Amino acid sequence: MEKKQHPVYQAIRAAFPHTIPVLTGYLVLGVAYGVLMQTKGYGTPWVLLICCLAYCGSMQFVAITLLTTAFDPIQAFLMSLMVNARHLFYGVSMLGKFRGMGGVKPILIYTLSDETFSIVSSVVPPEGVARKGFYLAVSLLNYSYWAVGSVIGSVAGRFITFDTTGLDFALTGLFVVLFIEQVNNPQNRVSGIIGLVCTAAALAVFGADQLVIPAMLLILAVLLIGRKKL
């Protein structure tokens, strides 16, 4: 007779295969972030602190510049709002998914990164695995990948002397991989095309520096208008 697995182990085992693309991307991206922090004079304790207080990969890269220049609180606030405004839309779309999660809900909210949102919004927990445990496992696995990669990069950064220009492109590369994975699923293909078209339109009208919020609003509007057909 097969021994029944512990629910925690079941959830991790079910979630891990879905997080493998994030594992590979976050380790590379986290190492790049850790190296950049170290080269700017911020060691491992700083890296750990920021990972704990501000788990938002793209903004963490931006924060390196904020930490190394004259501090302007208004600029920092507006920059953070612009870079992370997409999470407002993520949160609204997760209201149904996170309903009834009890005490783990704050953890799920805090760890809702782009990549975690991509998985949680599109993957259905397998039969026999609790929804709460599955989503929590996905969130914590992805968070651990980022934290571990950042620490490794911070330690390695003490010994790295080459030019680190362009390391932050790993973030863009990860987004591209996740997008390709999403559109490979026929159910997500239409939404992916809508996202591309709306983002291109926002880029053409508002420019690269201000496209995030207009693009998200346009995508949301199109999805709401066509929600019955989609």
- DSSP calls for 117-138: HHHHTT-PPPTTS-HHHHHHHH
Q: Which residues in 181-208 are b (16+ Cβ under 10 Å) and which e? A: ebbeeeebeebeebbeebbeebeeeeee
Q: Indicate left, alpha or beta for 102 from its phi (over 0: left) and psi (-120 to 50: alpha).
A: left
Are 150 and 42 spatial neighbours (Cβ–Cβ below 8 Å)? no
Range with the poorest average pLDDT among 9-18, 109-118, 127-136, 171-180: 171-180
Q: Kindly report, residue by residue over 30-44, the tens digit of the pLDDT.
A: 888 888 888 888 888
What pLDDT, on a 0 to 100 scale, did the predictor assign at position 1? 42
Are 28 and 149 spatial neighbours (Cβ–Cβ below 8 Å)? yes
Residue 125 phi/psi, 5-degree rounding, is -55, 140
User: How many helices (H) and strands (E) would you count in the chain?
Assistant: 11, 0
What pTM, to 2 d.p., does this model score? Answer: 0.70
Q: Kindly report, residue by residue over 46-72, the tens digit of the pLDDT.
A: 888 888 888 887 778 777 777 777 777
Are 47 and 37 spatial neighbours (Cβ–Cβ below 8 Å)? yes
Structure tokens at 105: 């809900």
How wide is the angle at C-alpha 175 spanned by C-alphas 172 and 176, nearest 5°? Answer: 90
Q: How far apart are CA 217 and CA 198, in angstroms?
A: 9
Average pLDDT over residues 140-159: 90
Are 164 and 36 spatial neighbours (Cβ–Cβ below 8 Å)? yes
Tokens 């920059």 belong to residue: 79
- DSSP calls for 163-181: --TTTTHHHHHHHHHHHHH
Are 17 and 129 spatial neighbours (Cβ–Cβ below 8 Å)? no
Residue ranges per structural domain of the chain:
7-163
